[in-house]
Amino acid sequence: MKRNDLIPALIIALFGAVVAVVSYILGLGSLRVPGPGMAPFLIGTLLVLSSLPVVVSAFLAAPAGSIGSGTSPWHGINLRKIGLCLLTLLGFGVILEYAGFVLSALLCLICLFRIVEKQKWKTILLASFLTVLVSYVLFVVILEVELPVKLFWKI
């Protein structure tokens, strides 16, 4: 692990701890009758436990005396890509009700595949289509979840 992994791992551990504490306050219930805080408590605990090895290995990977020195944790991060990804996800949320799940998810995935790592258009279109198809079959056909199915012309 790199030294720059320490800060994100600590943030994830802190977030997981907060989720676990708030979930405990909601009430865990029992294994037979779980309370409203059981699932979030388990997820928060899992976040804390999964971030601990990263924290430990980041401390062990750092040379002595390097804490607080060296490069910024933001060094080498492409903020433009992060911003474009966030805008794409925001756009997905905005157009979901108007375009429906299939079209908005397809457009979102095409944008994300193009932004994150430029691929060939054939790869982008195939991966996006297959991802939307698998998601649709899983959620609509198997789990019977009602997803927005509107299109622009049916508003």
- Helix/strand/coil (H/E/C) assignment for every residue in the chain: CCHHHHHHHHHHHHHHHHHHHHHHHHCCECCCCECCCHHHHHHHHHHHHHHHHHHHHHHHHCCCCCCCCCCCCCCCCCHHHHHHHHHHHHHHHHHHHHHHHHHHHHHHHHHHHHHHCCCCHHHHHHHHHHHHHHHHHHHHHHCCCCCCCCCHHHC
Q: What's the pLDDT at 48?
A: 93
Q: What's the pLDDT at 54?
A: 86
Q: What's the pLDDT at 78?
A: 76
* Tokens representing residue 136 in the block: 């649709």
Run means of pLDDT, 10 residues per run, the chain, 155 residues: 75 92 90 89 94 84 56 69 89 89 93 88 95 93 85 49
Q: What's the pLDDT at 14?
A: 92
Q: What's the pLDDT at 147?
A: 84
Q: What's the pLDDT at 56?
A: 85
Q: What's the pLDDT at 7?
A: 83
Residue 64's DSSP bridge partners are none
CB 76 within 8 A of CB 82: no
List the one residue out of 93, 130, 136 whose CA is nearest residue 110: 130
Q: What's the pLDDT at 80?
A: 84
